[in-house]
Amino acid sequence: MTTHLIRPDLVTSPDGPFLAAAELTQSEARTTSSHSHARGQLMGALSGLVSVGLDKQQWVVPATHAIWIPPHCVHSVRSYGPFSGWSVFIAEPRCDALPRKARAIKTTPLLREAVRRAASWPGAELDATQARIAEVIVDELAASREESLNLPSPDDPRLARITDALAGNLSDTRRLEEWAAWAGLAPRTLSRRFVTETGMTFAQWRQQARLLRALELIADGVPVTTISLELGYENVSAFIDMFRRTLGTTPGRYLAAEASAQSSRAAT
């Protein structure tokens, strides 16, 4: 696959075309420290997995999705193993009609193909045809539905103690009442505070943490059976059912789609 890099000035400056895109392939894991852009950024994966740290939340972006980062939002990026992906940078004035907060979206074939075309442009002013394709990308983002691929962190130190312990051992199946006793909280207080601080119930937060960890393990090539046991599921079927309900596909089909995409990109 050819890597199309973007001129740094198109990321940091409001000048130039209102939209610029790039594709990137890397063979090893990589971490980028906290930074921000003057432009809005739509970041997607083609194969592999990337996570984004943003606003005390961790977002995981599998190959079927992308994350929108509004202008000037400080974020960090981490990829897991071999990775190929893309980024679109949109000038700040054109972001007024786009989501004001970060969000994960499910990418469409139209969006992916339009980005692929845009990544081949030289970075100069857009001609009429290129401008129409760029508008398609903006329209697809504006019309996208928000997907839940983020994991918020609570501020309450008692809740943070619980989430830190869970993150370190997602196979721990203790019930909410047991976690409340462990942290010195009444169960009702724990339940209420969890929703207030994270927007999720305790059960939803734990399931989301397991899903995001599952995506990381899949990217590392860990077998599905091993993943289900590591995450505390009683059997593989229960894990597959959770994965399907959340992402709309099974782990096997997700892997097959990613392998097909990777093969297709390598052939171009």
Domains and CATH numbers, the chain: 8-147 (2.60.120.10), 153-258 (1.10.10.60)
d(CA 223, CA 227): 6
Q: Averaged over 188-195, what is the pLDDT?
A: 95
Buried b (16+ CB within 10 A) or exposed e, 79-107: bbeebbbbbbbbbeebbeebbeebbbbbb
Report phi then psi at 210, rounded to 5: -65, -40
Q: What's the pLDDT band for 114 if we cut at 50, 70, 90?
A: very high
Q: What's the pLDDT band for 2 if we cut at 50, 70, 90?
A: very low
Is the predicted pLDDT of residue 129 greater than 90, yes or no? yes
Handedness of CA 96, 40, 23, 128 (dihedral sign): positive
The pLDDT tens digits for 7-62 are 556 666 667 899 999 888 887 778 889 999 889 999 998 877 788 998 778 888 87
Percent of the chain with pLDDT strictly greater than 70: 90
d(CA 4, CA 109): 20
Is the predicted pLDDT of residue 167 greater than 90, yes or no? no
